[in-house]
Chain A
Amino acid sequence: MSKAVTIFIDGREISAFEGEKLLWVALRNGIYIPNLCAIRGKKRPSGSCRLCYVQVEGRSEPVTSCTLPVKEGLSVQTRSPRVDRLVRSAFELLLSHHRLDCRSCAKRKSCELLKLAKERGLKMRLSRLAPLEHEWPVDDSAETFVFDRSRCVLCGRCVWICREVARVGALGFSRRGIRRVVTTFQDVSMAQSRCTECGLCVEACPSGALYFKEGKQPAAAGQNLSRGG
């Protein structure tokens, strides 16, 4: 067990374990820091969504809290003009890649993007950026769920859970830059892939990219999970 330390988040005194990432300490203590790509238990945080910025006392630049290990006496502010500006830009970049038609979205009730926007007073529309074109058709080949890449924010939660928890390895990132996308091996449809439809990725998805077909939501997702492979 690592050493217990005392840190300060927004002036609040909080005890944590040395080396823990700040994001998890904050969330555990009910302090909200926006995040999408952070995965508890992942050894190396991907740090790709750029939403979890905090201002550390004694450092000029904001840093991502998912990669910041806590140590004794660490003092951070979750909000500052610079943090807000970075988060606003990162969020708009994500939205430029995310089809904004919330009324028709199956996940509008549980959408983490909406929740995040509400918490931080961000707008669910683009002011400076043009929306990216979506070239991929909606994949509804699976029995229980739909994969709509136009709503994917590339957080990587589905990829991680498919690999590390479900131990299936059907999903993965492919291509690069603006064409980056979550696909199966050789871009085959979900039904043709090695997907076992355990539903874990659908539950992990923060946006409307993966959602259960109507009436197909399992009572307890993950029950038909194969842990063999």
Chain B
Amino acid sequence: MRKGVVFLPLLQGEEELIRKSVDKALRKHEATRENLIPILLQVQEALGYLPGLAMEQIAAALKMPAVEVYGLATFYNQFRLHPPGKHQVKVCMGTACYMVGGRIALECFERRLGIKEGETTPDREFSLERVACVGCCTMAPVVVVDEHVEGKVTPTRVDGILLSFGKAIASGAEAAGKKGEGAS
């Protein structure tokens, strides 16, 4: 399997939107190295994430290699490289949640959605991320889906959450078969 991040293709009309928000950010901030972070932040605020195209345009404007912008965007947790999904799943990895199996819940989501933490499903329905403590450790392990807090999340509950959003869950045998495909 490829280790690098898998980037989603842009939606129709998104290119225009990206160009506009990058231009807007570049009008507000002078195109210098020191302004790279403010520019990226503004573009992310407008788009919800940093598409590759935006990073390339910003790099060109600042006369630096695109990989340098990419390096900065991957360095800070503040920057997202994937579009937010329609439903945002946040798995708590605070100490309490981690100890009682937050990782198991996260892995369940990863397997069911076929994405890694920090990524978004190709249909942009779900995005998955890990967060630090959400402040209700008695309910650990906690998952926050679109501002709604779910406590004591077991693998079965993960399926329940996804089913409630109309996500089809493959049966055990199917899931295993699919996994085999993925590995080949």
Q: Mark A162-195, 1 if CB is under 8 A from B, else 0.
A: 0100001111111110000001111110000000
- The answer to whether B5 touches A186, judged by C-beta atoms less than 8 angstroms apart, is yes
Residues of A115-173 contacting chain B, CB below 8 A: 135-137, 163, 168-173
Q: Shortest beta-carbon distance, B112 to chain A, in Å? A: 22
Q: A137-B2, A137-B3, A186-B7 are in contact. Are A170 and B67 (CB under 8 A)?
A: yes
Chain A residue contacts of B3, Cβ below 8 A: 135-137, 187
Q: Shortest beta-carbon distance, A200 to chain B, in Å? A: 15
B71 at the interface (CB under 8 A from A): yes
- The answer to whether A186 touches B2, judged by C-beta atoms less than 8 angstroms apart, is no
Interface of A is mostly: loop
The CA of A186 and the CA of B55, in the complex, are separated in Å by 10
Residues of A13-43 contacting chain B, CB below 8 A: none
Chain B residue contacts of A186, Cβ below 8 A: 4-5, 7, 52, 70
Q: Shortest beta-carbon distance, B81 to chain A, in Å? A: 8
B114 at the interface (CB under 8 A from A): no
Q: Mark B48-60, 1 if CB is under 8 A from A, else 0.
A: 0000100110000
Size of B's binding interface in residues, CB under 8 A: 18
Q: A137-B2, A163-B65, A186-B52 are in contact. Are A174 and B71 (CB under 8 A)?
A: yes
B66 at the interface (CB under 8 A from A): yes
The CA of A74 and the CA of B112, in the complex, are separated in Å by 64
Q: A174-B74, A176-B74, A176-B75 are in contact. Are A185 and B66 (CB under 8 A)?
A: yes
Chain B residue contacts of A185, Cβ below 8 A: 52, 55-56, 65-67, 70
B30 at the interface (CB under 8 A from A): no
Q: Shortest beta-carbon distance, A41 to chain B, in Å? A: 18
Q: Mark B36-52, 1 if CB is under 8 A from A, else 0.
A: 00000000000000001
The 14 sampled A-B contact pairs (Cβ below 8 Å) are A136-B3, A136-B4, A163-B65, A163-B68, A169-B66, A169-B68, A173-B71, A183-B67, A185-B65, A185-B67, A186-B5, A186-B7, A187-B3, A188-B4
Question: A: which residues have CB within 8 A of B?
Answer: 135-137, 163, 168-176, 183-188
